[in-house]
Amino acid sequence: MSPHARTAHDPVGGEDRPWYQYYGPGVPRAIEPVADRSLGEMVARAAEEHGDNVAFSNLGGTLTFRQVDQLATRFAAFLQQDLGLAKGDRIVIQMPNLLQYPVALYGALRAGLIVVNANPLYTSREMEGVFRDAKPRAIVVMANFADKVAGILGATSIEHVIVTQAGDLLPQPKRALTNFVAAKIKKMVPEYHLPEAIGFRAALARGRGRTLATPELTQDDVAFLQYTGGTTGGAKAAVLTHGNLLANQEQFIAQIRNTLGEERQSVIIAALPLYHVFSLTVNCIGFFKFGSHNVLITNPRDLKGFVKTLDATKPDGLILVSTLAGGLLDTDGFADVDFGRLKLTVGGGMAVRSAVSDRWKKVTGHDITEGYGLTEASPVVSVNPTHMPPRIGTIGVPLPSTDVRIVDDEANPLPLGERGELAVRGPQVMQGYWNNAEETARVLTEDGWLLTGDVAVEDEDGFFRIVDRKKEIIVCGGFNVYPGEIEDAAMLHPLVIEAGAIPIPNEHSGEVPKLFVVRRDESLTEDALRTFLKERLTGYKRPRVIEFIDALPKNNVGKVLRRELRELEASRAEDAPAS
C-alpha cells in the first residue's frame, strides 16, 4: 500500500496529507469549532460586527448588515406568527439575485424553516416534481415566474404564496420605476391569478408588528433541501444542515482570507445565482460573515451591463463560471476595466477552460482559481491555493478539515497515482438524500465517506485531478444536467420509443446535451420534439442536438448504454475532416 493511501478511520489532520505543505501562511489544517449554533445566529453576529457597512447591493440599491438582520427578523416573525409556519416546515425560494433573496433566506432560517431553493427557470413540470417531493407549505417567488406557480398550485402542498417584484427593496422612486418598467414596459411579468398571494413588502410590514419566538436550533438541524437531480432522472435533494453550511464557509474562507486581506472591506461580485449551492455558501454565507460587500448580479447574461458594474465597483473578488469569464473577455469595454484592486477570481460550477484562463490572466493580470465541489458537500471540497500560481488541470488541494482519497468500486483506498472514485469526508458532507434511503446508501459509506461519482487521480504532492466521471452527469454552464431527466421527458412524447442523452463538447458551455431518439415513425420531426421538450425542461437542460437513430445500444437487461453512445460520438469527431 502507498504511504499516502488512507484508511477509513484515519483522522483528519494526520501527517500523511501531503497537501498541507501547500497551505498558505495562517491556513489551519482543521477549522476551529464553529461558535454559532445556526445560520441565524451567524447573521446576528455579522450584523453586530459589521453594522452599517454595505452587505449587499443590487440594481442601484443597498442593504447594510444591520438592515439585513432587521428585515430578516421581520420576515421570520411574519412567517411564524402570521402564517403559522413552524420549525421544520419547508419553504421554497424562487428568484434570481435580488436584495430580497438574503432577507427571505435568513428570515426563513431564523424561523427554523427548511429552505428549498428553486431555479426560477424551471418549467411547471420541473417545479411540480420538486414541490411534490419536498412538500413545502410556502413559497417566495418573483412576480416574473408567479404564473407558473399559479398553474400548479392546486397540485402541491403550498398554502401560502409571497410574491416579490424586482425593485421591492430599492428606495423610492427607483422602486416604483423598476417595477413599472419590468411589468409594463419590458413585459417581463406574465399575468397570473393568485388572489390570496401576499406581497413581499406587505409581509415585512406585517412582521414588523410581531415578535419572533426564536426556535431552538442547533448545527444538527436541517437548513436546506438542495435539489441536484438523479442519474436515473427525477428530483433528489441533498439534506444540508446549519452545521454543514457554517463549516463549509469557514473552510473556504480559511483558504482565501489572506489573499483578500482585512485592511478594508472587500467588494465581491456574485455573478452566480444565490440559489446555486456554490454561490449560496461562498457569497451569501461566507463572504457575508467575512464582512464583504456582495454585489449581486441579477442577469449575468447582460454582459454589457455586467462590464459597467465591474467598472463602477472595482471589485476585489469575482465568483463566476468559465463560460461567463469567456463571455466577459469577448465583451467590448472589459479590457478597459481597472482591475487594480482585483485579488481573487474563482471559477466554480464547472472546469475552467485553459484558453479562457490564459486570456483572463493576460487581460486582468490575475489567474482564475479553480476548485471542486458538489451539492452533497455543501459544496466546496478543494481549491487551488490562492497564495501561489494555480496548478492548471487540477482541482487543487482539500480544504481544512477535509479528507479526500481515491477508492475502488468497493470503496477501498487505492495506491497513490491510481485512477479511482473520489471520496470525501468532512463536516460539510450532507446527511443524505431527502426521503431516499436507497440513494443515500449508494453514496454515503457507514464511516462517513461521500462517494462523489467522479474518477480522479492524486498526485504525489496531494493535488487532485478529475479524469473521468462515474456518474453520467452533463455539466452545462456550471449546472448539472442528468441524462435520465432528459430521456424521461422525451419519452413522454407518444411518438418516442426510447431515448439516450450524452454530453458533447461546446465552446461556450463546456458541455451541452445531445439526445439520440428512436421514433415510432418519421412524422415526428426535430422541431416538434424540441417544442415538446421546451414545455418540460428548462433551457440549459434541453438538447442542443437531436439525432434520430434506428436503435440504441443496450446491455443484456435492456439498459441503454450511454457509454457506447459517447464512443460513437467520439469516433465521429475523430473521423471528421479538420477545418
> Are 185 and 177 in contact, with CB atoms under 8 Å apart?
no
* 95 and 155 co-located in one domain: yes
* 145 and 272 co-located in one domain: no
SS3 371: strand
Between the two ends of the chain, the Cα-to-Cα distance in Å is 48
The reported pLDDT for the residue numbered 520 is: 87
Residues 341, 343, 349, 355, CA torsion sign: positive
CATH value at residue 523: 3.30.300.30
407 within domain boundaries: yes
CATH value at residue 288: 3.40.50.12780
225 within domain boundaries: no
The reported pLDDT for the residue numbered 399 is: 98
* 162 and 145 co-located in one domain: yes
> Are 78 and 206 in contact, with CB atoms under 8 Å apart?
yes
Residues 73, 79, 85, 89, CA torsion sign: negative
Contacts of 570 (CB under 8 A, 6+ apart): none
* 452 and 538 co-located in one domain: no
* 69 and 190 co-located in one domain: yes
User: DSSP for 496-538?
Assistant: EEEEEEEEEEETTTEEEEEEEEEESSTT--HHHHHHHHHTTS-
The reported pLDDT for the residue numbered 231 is: 33
160 within domain boundaries: yes
> Are 103 and 75 in contact, with CB atoms under 8 Å apart?
yes
234 within domain boundaries: no
The reported pLDDT for the residue numbered 335 is: 96
The reported pLDDT for the residue numbered 4 is: 32
The reported pLDDT for the residue numbered 74 is: 98
Rounded CA gap, 343 and 200, in Å?
37
Q: To which residue does cell 487543487 refer?
A: 396
* 337 and 430 co-located in one domain: yes
* 151 and 246 co-located in one domain: no
Cell reading at 145: 415566474
The reported pLDDT for the residue numbered 558 is: 54
The reported pLDDT for the residue numbered 5 is: 34
562 within domain boundaries: yes
* 194 and 294 co-located in one domain: no
Strand order in the sheet with 369-373: 61-64, 54-58, 293-296, 267-270, 317-320, 344-347, 369-373, 380-383, 397-398
pLDDT along the chain (579 residues), means of 10: 32 68 95 97 98 97 98 98 98 98 98 97 92 97 97 97 98 96 92 97 96 97 86 72 98 93 92 94 97 96 95 95 86 95 86 79 93 95 94 93 95 92 97 96 95 92 85 81 85 89 88 93 95 94 95 69 87 70
* 250 and 191 co-located in one domain: no
5 within domain boundaries: no
- In sequence order, the β-bridge partners of residue 237 are 227
* 439 and 479 co-located in one domain: no
> Are 19 and 397 in contact, with CB atoms under 8 Å apart?
yes
Boundary residue ending a domain (469, 497, 528): 469
11 within domain boundaries: no
228 within domain boundaries: no
Secondary structure of 128-157 in HEC code, one letter for each residue: HHHHHHHCCCEEEEEHHHHHHHHHHHHHCC
pTM of the model: 0.85
Rounded CA gap, 481 and 163, in Å?
28
Total domains, the chain: 3
* 362 and 419 co-located in one domain: yes
Boundary residue ending a domain (414, 435, 469): 469
* 28 and 64 co-located in one domain: no
CATH value at residue 143: 3.40.50.980
Rounded CA gap, 384 and 463, in Å?
8
Structural domain that includes position 549: 474-575
Boundary residue ending a domain (413, 445, 469): 469
Nearest of 381, 436, 438, 445 to residue 410 by alpha carbon: 445
